[in-house]
Amino acid sequence: MYAFETNQLTKTYGYRTVVNHVDLKVTQGHIFGFLGKNGAGKSTFINIVTGIIKPTSGSFKILGIEGTDDKVKKKIGVLPDYSTFYDDLTGIEHLRYFGKILGVSHSQADLIKLLEATELGDAIKTKTKKYSFGMKKKLGIAQALINNPDLVFLDEPTSGVDANAVLTIHSLIKSVAASGKTIFLTSHNLDEVEKLCDEIAIMDKGMIQEQGSMAQLRKKYQSQVTVKVKHHKIPSEQKTVLNEIFSKIARDIVWETEYTTLVADEESIIPIIHRAFARLNIDVYRIEVDEPSLEEIFLNLNTSNKSA
Ligand SMILES: Nc1ncnc2c1ncn2[C@@H]1O[C@H](COP(=O)(O)OP(=O)(O)OP(=O)(O)O)[C@@H](O)[C@H]1O
């Protein structure tokens, strides 16, 4: 069963199609990264599948249940793009209140634990009107987890929070996923998505442009492999032999005293490098392979779309 799946989901505002016939399947227990430029339609898509707005056409299932069914709300958690809080409630009162709306009650100790997990342990009794932007974001995440949901939608969970809190939120997300829950995460921070997510979808102009694991996307968009070898000093006659082998397989070679960097089209170059150094009895200390980052893939995708 998928954590959620959409079938030709579409949202139009007047003549504008903001979400355009989207078919998306999200595997249970995964951290799924949802990317796209500003205005791509990500929040609109999330607002539909979390029941905030209605689609113009198409359908979706959440945890096997028809998305329009009220039962769904109790099984999901949502950090929307903009959270609103009751100014005069403290952090802990706020969580208790939202728990009640969803039909769950918690002990004081459980609520404190949840606030501590989002680094709000010191602000439990502070009214939310005194919370900073980052603190409100953390309270929004705690609120999204209040009903121990099986599927959590997090729209930009770390934007506007400090570096320490980012690490805390990342480990919280990982531990929630490790307990078998599914996280659907929107972020403009490509490093964050690359570190956390098992699978990624990229939306553009309301359509899913690309979907897959990091490994699949890398394979598809990898235009070259850069291999940097740290080795013992190479005597000049052996360098000539190596140069002969490498020039047949590499586009570019840079020789340094204890490093050689080779650029090639495919990673099949790597075992050839290994064997060549071994054959000549030259000690190799380290081999580093540069893979394209999600940022490069993202840029590549935008460039290839423009040129298409
Ligand atoms: N209620 C609305 N009425 C008309 N147009 C809307 C409405 N809500 C969103 N849009 C338009 O739909 C498009 C997609 O917006 P959306 O907020 O879903 O994008 P996004 O990918 O979440 O962007 P961002 O990364 O900036 O948050 C935008 O052009 C936006 O102006």
> What distance, in Å, lies between the first and last C-alpha atoms of the chain?
36
Q: Does the pLDDT at position 69 exceed 70?
A: yes
Cα(183) to centroid(ligand 1), Å: 22
Give the least confident one: 37-41, 132-136, 296-300: 296-300
Q: Does the pLDDT at position 307 exceed 50?
A: no
Q: What is the average pLDDT value for the chain, to the nearest integer?
A: 89
Give the least confident one: 117-131, 229-243, 270-284: 117-131
Residue 308 has a pLDDT of 40
What's the whole-model pTM score?
A: 0.80
Nearest ligand 1 atom to alpha carbon 44: 18
Q: Left, alpha or beta for 212 (phi > 0: left; psi -120 to 50: alpha)?
A: left
Residue 124 has a pLDDT of 87
Give the β-pairing of 76-79 and 151-155.
parallel
> What contacts 164, CB < 8 A, 6 or more positions away?
119
The Cα–Cα gap between 87 and 90 comes to 8
Q: 289 and 225 in contact (C-beta within 8 Å)?
A: yes
Q: Is the CB of 13 under 6 A from ligand 1?
A: yes
DSSP per-residue letters across 99-121: HHHTT----HHHHHHHHHHTT-G
Q: Is the CB of 19 under 6 A from ligand 1?
A: no
Nearest ligand 1 atom to alpha carbon 45: 18
Residue 1 CB neighbour total at 10 angstroms: 9
Nearest ligand 1 atom to alpha carbon 16: 5
Give the least confident one: 48-52, 99-103, 127-131, 293-297: 293-297
The Cα–Cα gap between 53 and 66 comes to 15
Q: Does the pLDDT at position 305 exceed 60?
A: no
pLDDT tens, 155-197? 999 988 888 888 888 988 998 999 999 999 998 888 899 889 9
pLDDT band for position 133 (50/70/90)?
confident
Cα(205) to centroid(ligand 1), Å: 10
E strand spans, 224-266: 225-231, 252-255, 259-264
> What contacts 251, CB < 8 A, 6 or more positions away?
224, 263, 264, 265
Domains of the chain by residue range: 2-219, 223-290
Residue 118 has a pLDDT of 86
Q: Is the CB of 82 under 6 A from ligand 1?
A: no
**CATH superfamily for domain 223-290:** ACT domain (3.30.70.260)
Nearest ligand 1 atom to alpha carbon 40: 21
Nearest ligand 1 atom to alpha carbon 14: 4
The residue behind tokens 């139009």 is 12
- Structure ipTM over 0.85, yes or no: yes
The Cα–Cα gap between 307 and 192 comes to 28
Q: Left, alpha or beta for 293 (phi > 0: left; psi -120 to 50: alpha)?
A: beta
Taking domain 2-219, whether its CATH number is 3.40.50.1010 is answered by no
pLDDT tens, 216-264? 887 777 777 889 999 999 999 999 999 999 999 998 999 999 999 999 8
- Percentage of the chain lying above the pLDDT 70 cut: 96
Average pLDDT, stretch 199-210?
92
Q: 182 and 32 in contact (C-beta within 8 Å)?
A: yes
pLDDT greater at residue 23 or residue 296: 23
Q: How many residues does the chain have?
A: 308
Q: Is the CB of 11 under 6 A from ligand 1?
A: no
Q: Is the CB of 44 under 6 A from ligand 1?
A: yes
The Cα–Cα gap between 220 and 297 comes to 9
